[in-house]
Structure 1
Amino acid sequence: MVKRDLRTRYKGSFLGFLWTFINPLLQLIVYYVLFSTIMRINVDNYAMFLFVTLLPWIYFSTAILQSTNIIISNNNLIKKIYFPRAILTISVALSGLINMLFGFVIVIFALIIFKIQIGISIIMLPLIIINEFVFVLGLSFLFSALNVYFRDLEHILGIVTMAWFYLTPIIYPINMVPIKYTKLFFINPMTSIILPYRDVLFYGLWPDVKVILLSLLSSIFILVFAFGVFDRLQRGFAEEI
């Protein structure tokens, strides 16, 4: 299913698989122009400052929104044959992850072009990516199951992810947040997932391993809980759809 999704995602379009790279680049250009020339966030090499965290965010938001509707959009499979329904949700999270990994090829080349030194701390990148994947998979299980019974969830999440984007330090550095609100920002699980990407890829620093491990434990807990909800609710998918 992952292979099918990757093959058919841009099937029939002129640029085809190149859209995997073009989409984040176009978003990068829009945010770069807006926040470096109009709203003027004063960060050196702002394009790369933004790019290294924008790509993981695109993976997160796209996978969440696509997975929410994955059970309903495959209603023919759900009604006609029995198979592990979790495969549908897992395939969305995996195909999005593969797209992000392709995107990181562009990121690495861009870092070299902009003469941003890639340090030894990059060896932490796989752990950071695994943490995000576990978190995305957990939310995907939860929302894909709940949306079968509460169809408004798909539309609500569109608004929530938009607000969530601005409440995560992607387009601005965390030190721009007033100190009295900093702790509130770290309640946002995406803050602890996004910032290590920037530490490793942009600053060349070792991320706080303790923060990553705590975030990973939280992600695992969410995944276990979400899969439990999914497993319980999937018994009624065929009847509800």
Structure 2
Amino acid sequence: MMRHVWLIVYSVVFSFVMRVKVENYAMFLFVALLPWNYLAQSTIQSSGSFIHNAGLVKKIYFPRAVLPLSVVFANLINYCLRLCVLLPALLLFKIKLTPALLAFPVVLALQTLLVAALALLVAVATVYFRDLEHITGILMTVWFFLTPVIYPAELVPERFRPFLILNPAAPLIEAYRALFFYGRWPDWHQLGQLAPALLALFIISLAAFERLQRAVAEEV
């Protein structure tokens, strides 16, 4: 419910107050908010996955990665279910759906690598740094405004655009917009550069998680 409220608020503010010149801005925003929520909610909820399940962690041995990854999986399912709202809404606003949607699983897989890596890192780090559970929400808010979710990437001043390369969420959001809003294929060159970086991040995150999770039962 709150997500729909924010969609309306952002649509009004950026369409009429700040006058972002994007036709069908509500859909422009909706297309980007859904994958962003998948990323943000997974990361924030994962931060407390060990702390809030301390009793289970202490009593039963099981692969610890199950807890943060189950959060990721739940939010992934929620995102996919929300496509049942997004697709009819796009058609209602006369936005054509094209064969470019066939690239959706590729973009989603890349995003899931990023989300899973962050979830693993945040979950195990919060065990040792308890304040991180509260800080994570603040960091995600900052990241949100640094990512072209509520504004087009073209609005970013030219001198700051190179910094978008350092933001792994930016090319993913742009790819989703290409598929759903503009009806074109994503920038394969950009995604091709992003893929090995995300894979490396996931492997590093998994290795760090495996090393740090050994003492989780004693720390929670």
TM-score grouping bracket, smaller chain normalisation: over 0.9
Q: TM-score, normalised on structure 2?
A: 0.97
Q: Report how far residue 23 of structure 1 moved.
A: 4.0
1:210 aligns with 2:189: yes
Aligned to 1:54: 33
For residues 182-238 of structure 1, the C-alpha deviation after alignment (integer angstroms, 9 at most, x for no partner) is 111221111011110001110111111121122222111111111111111111011
**CA contact under 8 A between 1:68 and 1:154: conserved in structure 2?**
yes
RMSD: 1.0
Which segments of 5 or more consecutive residues in structure 1 lack a partner in the other structure? 1-21
Instruction: Report the residue type matching 2:17 in the other structure.
Output: I
Aligned to 1:225: 204
Aligned to 1:201: 180
Write the mapping of 1:1-16 to structure 2, written as runs, cut at 5 A: none
Structure with more relative contact order (C-alpha pairs < 8 Å, separation 6 or more): 2
Deviating above 3 A after TM superposition, structure 1's stretches of 4 or more consecutive aligned residues are: none
Q: Report how far residue 58 of structure 1 moved.
A: 0.7
Q: Distance in 1 between matches of 2:75 and 2:157?
A: 34
**CA contact under 8 A between 1:193 and 1:215: conserved in structure 2?**
no
Q: Report how far residue 159 of structure 1 moved.
A: 1.2
Instruction: Report the residue type matching 2:190 in the other structure.
Output: V
Write the mapping of 1:46-125 to structure 2, written as runs, cut at 5 A: 46-125=25-104
Q: Report how far residue 74 of structure 1 moved.
A: 0.5
Q: Distance in 2 between matches of 1:118 and 1:213?
A: 24
Instruction: Among all aligned residue pairs of Structure 1 and Structure 2, give the percentage whose two residues are the same amino acid.
Output: 41
Aligned residues: 220
For the residue of structure 2 that corresponds to 1:117, the secondary structure is coil
Q: TM-score, normalised on structure 1?
A: 0.89
Aligned to 1:178: 157
Q: Distance in 1 between matches of 2:136 and 2:19?
A: 29
Q: Report how far residue 99 of structure 1 moved.
A: 0.2
Aligned to 1:9: none
Q: Distance in 1 between matches of 2:136 and 2:96?
A: 37
Q: Distance in 2 between matches of 1:24 and 1:203?
A: 23
For residues 16-62 of structure 1, the C-alpha deviation after alignment (integer angstroms, 9 at most, x for no partner) is xxxxxx34322211111111122221111100010000110011100
Q: Distance in 1 between matches of 2:42 and 2:59?
A: 26
1:40 aligns with 2:16: no
**CA contact under 8 A between 1:24 and 1:55: conserved in structure 2?**
no
1:147 aligns with 2:126: yes
1:136 aligns with 2:115: yes
For residues 81-130 of structure 1, the C-alpha deviation after alignment (integer angstroms, 9 at most, x for no partner) is 10111111110000000000011111100011001011111111111111
Which segments of 5 or more consecutive residues in structure 2 lack a partner in the other structure? none
For the residue of structure 2 that corresponds to 1:74, the secondary structure is helix
**CA contact under 8 A between 1:69 and 1:154: conserved in structure 2?**
yes
Q: Distance in 1 between matches of 2:141 and 2:60?
A: 36
